[in-house]
Amino acid sequence: MSLEISTAGHGIDYPVPVYGYRRRFTREVAFGEIALGGYQPIRVESMTTTHTMDTVATVAQCRRLYEAGCEIIRLTVPTEKDAENLKNIREQLRRDGIRTPLVADIHFSARAAMKAVEFVENIRVNPGNYATGAKFTSDDYTDEEYMAELDKVRTEFAPLVRKAKELGVSMRIGTNHGSLSDRTVSRFGNSPEGMVEAALEFARLCEEEQYHDVLFSMKSSNVRVMIQAYRLLVARADAELKYAYPLHLGVTEAGDGDEGRIKSAMGIGALLEDGLGDTIRVSLTEDPVNEVPVGFAIVRKYNDYHLVRGDNAHLPVKHVVEHGRKAAAHGMLPFEPFSYARRASCRIDGAGYPIGGDTLPRVETAATASIADPEGLKAEILRRLDPERPVDSIRSEFVGISIGSVEDLPVLEQLLASLGGLRDRIVVSTADTALFSWLLPMVSRARLDIVEGESLGADLFDAIQGPGAAVELCFIHENSSENVPAEILSHLAAKLKAKGVQRVLLSVMSNRPLYPVRKLALELKKSGIDYPVAVRYRQRVGDRSAVLIESAIQTGTLFCDGIGDLLAFETGLPADQEVAIAFNILQAARIRMSKTEFISCPGCGRTYFELEKTTALIKQRVSHLKGLKIGIMGCIVNGPGEMADADFGYVGSGKGRVSLYVGRECVEENMLEEAALERLIELIRQNGKWVDPA
C-alpha cells in the first residue's frame, strides 16, 4: 500500500461545475426511516449539549430539536456507559412518537462505539483519534511504524464496520482539522491533504468489508481550510473509491451570533454552490435549537432546485464522476480549489484609499438618500464614512451615490466641494454613457452600470482614456446565475488594457454574484488582465438574517477563493449593519482581520462549564484585540486539538476547572475557573499581545 498522495499543484482535477449549480449525485445512505444523498433533500442536523447520562435533560433537548424541525440529532458518547444510556434515551423518544434518526458521536473509544451502534441510526467516528488518539507530538513515523498503527486501527475498526453493516446502521467518517492522528500529521501535515488521507484510510477499510453506507465530513474552524479539504476529498475519493459517498458539511467552532452564522453560511454555502453536500450542521455556541432555522435558511434554496427523481441511486461512482466531469469541462479555473492564492491585481491609487494589489479588500456601501435631497445625502455620507473614527475602524471606506441626468451635475459638484477631502471616497454611478463621460473629470471614481445587451460606443473609450477618475465598469446582473456577462466585460477590459489605460476596476452587481464573478475572473485570467475586481452584493428585499446568510455565501466564497479587491453592499439594511456584515465576511474568510477571532465550540455532553456565559464574558474583555485568535473550548479531550490555530486557548478540563493554552502549549493546567479569565488576560499581556481598549 502506497503512503504517498499526489499533491503536485495537487495535480488533481476538481470534478464539479463552478459556474452554475449542479448537485453532485451521491449514493443514497440510510438514516433509519429517512435517507440522505442521492435525490434526497439536503438534511439539517444538530447536536445535543446535555450530558448523555442525563436521560431527562437529553430527551427534553431532543424534543425541542424535533419540534424545531431538526431532521437528525447527534449525541456525544464519551464512554460505554453513555453508549448504554442511548437505549433509554431512544426508548423514551420513540414512546413520545419522536422518530428522528439519532447519531452517536464517538471520539477515541472503540468500546463506546461498539455499544452505541446498537441504539442509533448512524455512528460518527473521528479517524484522527479512533482507536489511536493524538498525542500532538511531531514524532516522525517510519513506514513500518505507520503501517503498524494502521493495522492496529484496522483490527479495532473492522468489528465496528461489520456490526454496523449487520445492523443496517450507516457511518460518518468525520475528520476534523486539528484532531488528526500523529500518524497522519507526521506524514501529511495538519492540512487538507492530511484530513483527506485520514478519511480515505477509513473509507478503504469500509470498502474492504463491502460496507458502503458511508458518508464523510471534513470540518475545520478555518473556513478556507474546510472548503479546501472537502473539495480535495471529493476529487480524490471520486477518483479512487467505489461510490460517490454523501457529504455532511459543517464549520467547527464557528462561535455565536453573526460571526458564527456568517462562518457557517460561508463554508457550507461555498460547497453547496459547488453542488457538494447532502446534510449540514450549523455549529453555534448557543442553544442548539438556534442552529436549526439557520440550517434550513442555508439549504432551502438548494432543496428548491428541481431534481428529477430516477432509480439510479446506487450507480457506481464512475458514472457519477463521468457525469460531473462532463458538466465541469472548464479546464482552467480562476482560483485554486485546494489551496489559497489571492488573485493578482494591479493597484489603483489616487481614488480615496488604494484598491487592489496587495492592499486589503475595501468595503463600500451605497447611500440610500437621493441627489435630489443633497442635505440628506451629505448627512448620510458622513454617517457612513464616519470620519471621526480612526483609520481602519469598522466603517464604510467608500460610499456610492448615483445620478440620472445632466441636471444632477451642478448639485453633485456642490456636494463634492462641501465634503472636502472626503470627496475622494465618493463613488458616483450612472447607467448613462454620456453622463458617465461628463462625470470623469469631476470625481475620483466613476462607475458605469452596464445592463446586459447594451452596446458601448467608441467615444466612451476615448473619454476613459483621458486623465481623471478611476473607472469602474460594472455589469448589472440580477436574479440569474446563468447568463454570464463576463465575456463582454473582459472584452471591454482587454480594449482598455491594450490602450494602456490604468485605474480600471471591474465589477458585477447582483444578488448572486458568485458564478458571474468567477466567470469574469476566468475571462480576465485567459486574457492576462489584472485589473482589480469588485464584488457587489445587491439585495434590497429580505430580512436581515436572509441578507446575512446569502451575502456570506455569495461574496464570502469568492474571497475564500482569493477573488475580490473590494466588497460592496447595497441592501435595505441600516448602514452600520451592512458594514458589520461586510467586515465579518472578510474576517471569516481570513482576508481582513478587523477584530478578535473567537473559535468557540458549541459544547456537548463533555462540557462542564457554562460555555455561552463564559464565551460572552471573555468576549467582553478581549474583543478589542484585533487579529488575535482565541479558542474557547468545552473539553480537554477534543478542545486543544480542535481549536487548531488559536493564539490562546481557554479549555474546560473538568468541573470548575480550566486549562489555558498559549498556541499549542498548555501553560496552566486545571486551574480554578474563577481565576481563569484574569490569568488569560495576563498571558496575553505577557506575550505582548495586549492593548488597552480605546
Residue ranges in 67-96 that form contacts with ligand SF4 under rule CB under 6 A: 76
Q: What is the per-residue burial (b if ≥16 Cβ within 10 Å, else e) of 562-582?
A: bbbbbbbbbbebebebbbbbb
The mark string for 381-420 relative to ligand SF4 (x by CB under 6 A, - otherwise) is ----------------------------------------
Is residue 381 within 8 A of residue 401, CB to CB? The reply is yes
Please tell me the distance from the alpha carbon of residue 198 to that of residue 173, in angstroms, as a whole number.
9
Distance between CA atoms of residues 670 and 672, nearest Å: 7
In the complex, the smallest distance separating the C-beta of residue 249 from ligand SF4, rounded to whole angstroms, is 17
Where b means 16+ CB within 10 Å and e means fewer, 514-552 reads bbbbbbbbbbbbeeebbbbbbbbbbbeebeeeebbbbbb
- Using CB under 6 A, which of 536, 592, 606, 619 touches ligand SF4? 606
Binding part of the chain for ligand SF4, among 268-276, 302-310, 476-484, 627-635 by CB under 6 A, reads: 627-635
Which CB atom, from 457 or from 654, has the smaller least distance to ligand SF4?
Answer: 654
Report strand pairing: 29-31 vs 657-662. Answer: unpaired
Q: How far is the CB of 607 from ligand SF4 (least distance, A)?
A: 4
Minimal distance, residue 609 CB to ligand SF4, in Å = 10
Binding segment for ligand SF4 (CB under 6 A), chosen from 316-324, 444-452, 550-558, 634-642, is: 634-642
For the bound state, the minimum distance from the C-beta of residue 264 to ligand SF4, rounded and expressed in Å, comes to 15
d(Cα 686, Cα 554) in Å, to the nearest integer?
Answer: 40
Residue environment code for 159-175, b if the CB has 16+ CB neighbours within 10 A, otherwise e: ebbebbbeeebbbbbbb
Single residue of 272, 419, 439, 601 touching ligand SF4 by CB under 6 A: 601
The smaller minimum CB distance to ligand SF4, of residues 225 and 637, is found at 637
Question: Residue 44 CB, nearest distance to ligand SF4 (Å)?
Answer: 18
- Shortest approach of ligand SF4 to residue 639 CB, angstroms? 4
Q: Under rule CB under 6 A, how many of the chain's residues touch ligand SF4? A: 14
Residue pair 63/99 in contact (Cβ under 8 Å)? The answer is no
Question: Should residue 128 be labelled a site residue for ligand SF4 when binding is judged by CB under 6 A?
Answer: no
Residue 566's closest CA among 262, 353, 271, 419? 353
Please identify, using beta-carbon distances, which residue of 76 and 279 lies nearer to ligand SF4: 76
Q: Binding to ligand SF4 by residue 633, rule CB under 6 A?
A: yes
The HSE-up count of residue 383 (CA atoms within 13 Å, CB side) is 15
Query: Binding segment for ligand SF4 among 25-33, 505-513, 573-581, 638-646 (CB under 6 A)?
Result: 638-646
Measured between alpha carbons, how far is 262 from 430 in angstroms, rounded to an integer?
Answer: 32
Torsion of CA 282, 288, 289, 293, to 10 degrees: -10
Report d(CA 274, CA 632) in Å as an integer. 31
Q: Shortest gap between Cβ of 606 and ligand SF4 (angstroms)?
A: 4
639 binding ligand SF4? (CB under 6 A): yes
E strand residue ranges, 113-249: 122-125, 170-176, 214-219, 248-249
Q: Give the closest residue to 218 by CA, choosing from 233, 203, 207.
A: 233
Q: Contact with ligand SF4 (CB under 6 A): which of 178, 277, 361, 603? A: 603
Residue 634, interface with ligand SF4 (CB under 6 A)?
yes
Minimum distance of ligand SF4 from residue 92's CB (angstroms):
23
Q: Are 146 and 127 in contact (CB under 8 A)?
A: no
* Contact region with ligand SF4 (CB under 6 A), list: 206-214, 418-426, 574-582, 629-637: 629-637
- DSSP letter for each residue of 283-317: --SS-GGGHHHHHHHHHHHHHHS-----S-TT--H
Instruction: Verify binding: residue 51, ligand SF4, rule CB under 6 A.
Output: no
Work out how close the CB of 126 gets to ligand SF4 at its nearest, in angstroms, rounded to a whole number: 10
Nearest residue by C-beta to ligand SF4?
Answer: 634
Q: For ligand SF4, give the closer residue by CB, 43 or 281.
A: 281
Query: CB of 87: closest distance to ligand SF4 in angstroms?
Result: 22
Shorter beta-carbon distance to ligand SF4: residue 284 or 299:
284
| Minimum distance of ligand SF4 from residue 603's CB (angstroms) | 5
Which residue type sits at 469? Answer: A
Instruction: Indicate the residue among 203 and 599 with the shorter CB distance to ligand SF4.
Output: 599
Rounded to whole angstroms, how far apart are CA atoms 246 and 276?
Answer: 8
Give residue 365's identity as a one-letter amino acid code. Answer: T
The minimum distance between CB 77 and ligand SF4, in angstroms, equals 11
Phi, psi of 418 (to 5 degrees): -70, -15
Which residue of 180, 419, 635, 658 would you call a contact of ligand SF4, by CB under 6 A?
635
**Which of residues 16 and 134 has its CB atom nearest to ligand SF4 in the complex?**
134
Instruction: Let me know if 633 is exposed, middle or buried by CB neighbors in 10 A (0-12, 13-18, 19+).
Output: buried
Backbone torsions φ then ψ of 172, nearest 5 degrees: -105, 125
Of 18 and 632, CB closest to ligand SF4: 632
CA distances (Å), origin 395, targets 140, 391, 578:
48, 9, 9
Binding mask 259-298 for ligand SF4 (x = CB under 6 A): ----------------------------------------
Q: Give whichever of 26 and 222 is closer to ligand SF4, judged by the CB atom.
A: 222
Where do we find the cell 473582459? 490
Which residue in 287, 289, 290, 291 sits closest to 279, CA to CA?
291
Q: Which bin fits 614, alpha (ψ -120 to 50), beta or left (φ > 0)? A: alpha
Closer Cβ to ligand SF4, 594 or 653, answer by number: 653
Part of the chain binding ligand SF4 (CB under 6 A), chosen from 152-160, 429-437, 596-604, 674-682: 596-604
Stretch of residues binding ligand SF4 (CB under 6 A), selected from 256-264, 318-326, 595-603, 674-682: 595-603
Q: Residue 543 CB, nearest distance to ligand SF4 (Å)?
A: 30
> Least CB distance from residue 645 to ligand SF4, whole Å?
15
Identify which of residues 27 and 74 has a Cβ nearer to ligand SF4 in the complex.
74
CA-to-CA dists, residue 283 to 504, 513, 552, angstroms: 41, 26, 16
| Alpha-helix residue ranges (DSSP H) falling in 456-504 | 458-465, 486-498
- What secondary structure, in 3-state letters, does 532-588 show? CEEEEEEECCCCHHHHHHHHHHHHHHHHHCCCCCEEEEEECCCHHHHHHHHHHHHHH
Nearest approach, Cβ of residue 289 and ligand SF4 (Å): 16
How far CA 440 is from CA of 434, 443, 464, 498, in Å, comes to 10, 6, 8, 20
Task: Scan for cell 441600516, then name that residue.
Answer: 574
Nearest to ligand SF4 of 254, 601 (CB atom) = 601
The distance of closest approach from Cβ of residue 481 to ligand SF4 in the complex, given in angstroms and rounded to an integer, is 36
Q: Which of 191, 607, 615, 653 binds ligand SF4 (CB under 6 A)?
A: 607
Write down the least CB distance from residue 76 to ligand SF4, Å. 6
* Site of interaction with ligand SF4 (CB under 6 A): 76, 601-604, 606-607, 633-635, 637-639, 642
